[in-house]
Amino acid sequence: MATSLLTQLREMTSVVADTGDLEAIRRFTPQDATTNPSLILQAAQQEQRRARLAVIAKESTDIDDAADRVAVEIGSEISELVPGYVSTEVSARLSFDRDATIARAHSLIERYAQKGVGAERILIKMASTWEGIQAAQQLEREGIRTNLTLLFGFAQAQACADAGVTLISPFVGRILDWYKARKPDADFAGDNDPGVQSVKQIYNYYKGHGYATIVMGASFRNIGEIQALAGCDRLTISPALLNELDEQQGELPRKLTPMGASSSKAETLTQGDFRWAMNEDEMASDKLAEGIRKFMADQRQLETLLETLRKA
């Protein structure tokens, strides 16, 4: 009997829902779920949430407080629907502030605890800046698990492994976007996709050096990218692409397989090494900066919505 691509994918990769849509999560029953400022904004704009958002806005001490309360409320609802991790993101405006990121992470974990959701269920997301990675290293030492997002360059992946983060989210589709904008006539299908190539390089590096950090491909533009990464530790996928995978049948061969760890030890990146490597990687520098700006733009939209409800 033929099975869907989604069913086959689940046999080799943990499928994660990239959404704040509770109905989509109920339908696809993912292992984990990830959110970000853009997805929280989408969820917050749903009409059925408006009355509850108004209550949160009026009860909160300030807009930062209100925005975090909304994120934790949605995350708590998601935690009831998935057995694994729920990722909740620290404000993008803290992307270059290690200490403020740590403080906000503590606040988010405390808010989840007040709703009965333990720290072991939460991944605190932050951008893969040098400061974000150093914040993650400290949080991991404290037992708070982290998800390093907006990851585009190999140096970011190396530094995250050095820091011992729980999970990284290398962005496949946004890497493809960058290259397509510069070479619109090039063939980037399947294994030629530069985003796919980036995740494969990171995956093989992690497995080859025995790093425990989970590789979770993210930001997909088509199911071909997902098929090319079948076997990756985790893949976080939008409801639209989950639906496409569920409706298609055919053979899905495994593309990524963990190799045994080598005896060689990878060199630890210094801050200078990291910043120089990012400077040399035009794509990674461009997309990291753009990603922070885009997340912050959606964060501001959410804050404006909450401010409007607060004053109503």
Contact 137, 156 (CB under 8 A): no
Q: Which of 38, 107, 30, 121 is nearest to 75 (CA)?
A: 121
Contact 159, 153 (CB under 8 A): no
Which helix (H) or strand (E) is 223 found in, with range?
helix 223-228
Report how many helices (DSSP H) and strands (DSSP E) the chain contains, helices first: 14, 8
3-state secondary structure 82-149: CCCCEEEECCHHHCCCHHHHHHHHHHHHHHHHHCCCCHHHEEEEEECCHHHHHHHHHHHHCCCCEEEE
Q: d(Cα 40, Cα 34) in Å, to the nearest integer?
A: 10
Contact 11, 253 (CB under 8 A): no
Which helix (H) or strand (E) is 311 found in, with range?
helix 282-311
Q: d(Cα 170, Cα 175) in Å, to the nearest integer?
A: 9
**How many other C-beta atoms can be found within 10 angstroms of the C-beta atom of residue 142?**
11
- Let me know the angle formed at the C-alpha of 232 by 230 and 235, rounded to the nearest 5 degrees: 85
SS3 42: helix
Q: Which residues are catalytic?
A: 125
